[in-house]
Structure 1
Amino acid sequence: MDLIKLSEPEFEIENLEDFRTALLNKEVGYVGSYIDEFRSALGEILHAEHLGLFSSGTSSIHLALLTAGIKPGDEVICQSLTFAASANPICFLGASPVFVGSESSTWNMDPQFLERAIVDRQNKGKRVGAIIPVHLYGMPARIKEIMAIGKKYNVPIVEDAAEALGSYTSDGMCGAFGDFGILSFNANKIITTGGGGGLVTKNALDLKRAYFYALQAKDPAPHYEHSQLGYNYAFSNLNAVLGVQQLSCLVDKVKRRRDAYFHYYERLSSNDGITFQQGIEGDFSNRWLTSIVLPDSDMVQGLKRYLEGKKIETRPVWKPMHIQPLYENCAYYGDNYEVTLFEKGICLPSGSGLTKEQLEKTSGAILDFFRHG
């Protein structure tokens, strides 16, 4: 009996001929026709004119912060309920993260706590250099409100849409709102290039600066001249081959993730002990991962063990950054709602390749656990 995985990548075999074409053309570096095609297709989806491709979502955040002018001693406000990759690049630059808690409808950055954090940090004489909200599990954050707060205090927004390709609000696509937008094409995302990320900017100059840092910060000279620290964050044309093929199936992949969510919701929501990440009416989530919240943490651990016995993979909700050992001494503004989500939440198999039988087995096992304990 095969393991039902949390978020397994799915590929189409016809993609192999495109790899042959790239190899025959010897386009295996950071320049190539498939990079141009992938970047163009992403730009059309996001309605974004300025979009760059880099080695990961993490590197894209680093480049966004570099381009935004973050320096040692600055502070960057970051959503606490997220993966460490949202916060770690702040420290790459010698800046300090300040964490903000979540609100209950989206599980994302609470605008009220965000504004409180900005005012308090500025009153303490700190320079707040950027804000990093996250569209957690593909659920759009209250991005319109967050953008308004950023504008009010003149703080740029680095919008982490690593999990949210294909998600949108009535005002536009996730990843295209912020002064900088972040995408990820990691193996478990809606589409994958095996590794890689994207950076959306509002103007050509910011994108040019990001590429300058990403390609070893080579000064214009007839030889290798370096006056600034650079990085090797290039994105390969071979990765783009996979990206082009994957992106052509984006609508179907999003539909199947959403179908998984609706299957779980229809079968499990009538149980008084189970609640779901809801979101804001009118917003569209790609439902990258479906997560549920149970009445207590002991029940979560019991369900996890029960599903493991049935060969069904699960994962805890992200452990908030402000209670991680690495960041526990950082400033935090919130009410610890996201700690409750971590303690009582569990992520369910949500991949676009899940069969109806696999979904039925998973939801049935959860119902059996509640019936029989």
Structure 2
Amino acid sequence: MKSRIWLSLAHMGGREQEFIREAFDTNWVVPLGPNVDAFEKALAAYLREDKHVVALSAGTAALHLGLILLGAGVGDEVICQSFTFSASANPIMYQGAKPVFVDSEASTWNMDPVLLEEAIKDRLRKTGKLPKAIIPVHLYGMPARLDRICEIAGRYGIPVLEDAAEALGSEFKGRKCGTFGELAALSFNGNKMITTSGGGALVCRSEEEAGQVKFYATQARDAAPHYQHSHIGYNYRMSNICAGIGRGQMFVLEEHVARRRAIHALYTSLLKDIPGISVLQNPSSDFDSNFWLTCITVDPLVAGCTRENIRLALDADNIESRPLWKPMHLQPVFAEAPFYGNGTSEHLFDIGLCLPSGPTLTDEDIERVVSLIDGCICHKIIR
């Protein structure tokens, strides 16, 4: 059996153990502590926009607390990109609010600004009020069209909560993703750009907002000598141990971004002459994706095979790949949610595939993946 090629594995840079050991040596093995403070400051410095970052237990927790800060609750609606992972939409339901899904545009695969405005106007006509927030997603690291999305949101006075879980290191018009909206969520799951084994963060505009997030994330305990609670709170803070991993990962973040971009460039070069295969690219110089995952689409009429044929062929050779996200408006749990679409995300789901893209992959690994894709297509055409 050939060695396994994984979709996106975590990679340790070496200094993580230094900060974890420090936590053990000083007995800071509980939530909060010096590693948490230092990790938050390092993230804020990296984003470069005078932001305040709160480290949390997951990116989902960050989105949830973001919605709480924006006042989303029972009876409200929140606009969310349909083409995404369920964690983008689930926190809307946590708050008793209702998701309104908007389809993608073809060049970035992210929220279509034209459909966004259509959804806002239609919800206002039908409900008599505006949605409480807008959640665009930077899918697979590709920046959304934030200039147009934020302009539309601003005209209607609707705050933007960026889902930048997959986009740490990506930039739009020279500015880091995660700094455009009123708030933004980051993820440090094991397969992301950097990891804390599990974890996330909420990017806030002010120290006061960050303080509110910390309050809710630590069970909303009032300032009293006893345990007193005037608000519902959550156990969402990151541990000092996990934050130690994050501190170490910050030293290799730029290296990870550079490697994933290099992997994407190699895939682009090796796949360019294979019929029916297209690689998602930056639409223009305004976009600078981290290419967290390199994604392809397969035209079955040209390739002579489907995305699923390729996925199964890769799996048979011990190579992990993954279909693109199934859109939220197609998920049974969200069957009753309003949707404003043009068919883009449904089509991409049918023909799209995520290829192995982790920073530990070698050029030879990428060549092995491409060779299997090429062989699968040639085999299907001959048949």
Distance between the aligned counterparts of 1:194 and 1:59, measured in 2? 15
1:238 aligned to 2:245?
no
**1:347 match:** 354
**1:302 match:** 309
Instruction: Report 1:1-373 matches (<5 A).
Output: 1-47=2-48, 48-124=50-126, 125-282=128-285, 283-296=287-300, 299-373=306-380
Identity %: 46
Structure 1 contact 82–136 (Cα < 8 Å) conserved: yes
TM-score relative to the length of structure 2: 0.95
Closer, same or farther: CA 214–144 of 1 in aligned 2, 3 Å:
same
**Which residue identity does 1:318 align to in structure 2?**
W
Secondary structure of the structure 1 residue equivalent to 2:333: coil
Per-residue CA deviation, residues 234-254 of structure 1 (Å, 9 max, x unaligned), is 101111111111111011101
Structure 2 contact 130–158 (Cα < 8 Å) conserved: no
Distance between the aligned counterparts of 2:53 and 2:309, measured in 1? 44
Structure 2: runs of 5 or more not aligned: none
More divergent stretch after superposition (353-362 vs 17-26) = 17-26
Distance between the aligned counterparts of 2:32 and 2:219, measured in 1? 15
Structure 1: runs of 5 or more not aligned: none
**Which residue identity does 1:198 align to in structure 2?**
A
Computed over aligned residues only, the root mean square deviation of the Cα atoms, in angstroms, reads: 1.3
**Which residue identity does 2:296 align to in structure 1?**
I
Per-residue CA deviation, residues 303-351 of structure 1 (Å, 9 max, x unaligned), is 1111111111110100000010011221011102100010110110000
Distance between the aligned counterparts of 2:131 and 2:18, measured in 1? 49
Per-residue CA deviation, residues 170-199 of structure 1 (Å, 9 max, x unaligned), is 251000110001100000001000011011
Distance between the aligned counterparts of 1:4 and 1:167, measured in 2? 25
Distance between the aligned counterparts of 2:165 and 2:151, measured in 1? 22
Secondary structure of the structure 2 residue equivalent to 1:190: coil
Distance between the aligned counterparts of 2:344 and 2:185, measured in 1? 25
Aligned residues: 373
Distance between the aligned counterparts of 2:281 and 2:269, measured in 1? 13
Structure 1 contact 296–343 (Cα < 8 Å) conserved: no
More divergent stretch after superposition (280-289 vs 99-108) = 280-289
Per-residue CA deviation, residues 96-141 of structure 1 (Å, 9 max, x unaligned), is 0000000011000000000000011011124410000000000000
Structure 1 consecutive aligned stretches of length 4 or more whose deviation exceeds 6 Å? none
Distance between the aligned counterparts of 1:112 and 1:276, measured in 2? 25
Structure 1 contact 70–93 (Cα < 8 Å) conserved: yes
Distance between the aligned counterparts of 2:102 and 2:356, measured in 1? 28
Structure 2 contact 52–205 (Cα < 8 Å) conserved: yes
Distance between the aligned counterparts of 2:7 and 2:309, measured in 1? 18
Distance between the aligned counterparts of 1:28 and 1:177, measured in 2? 34
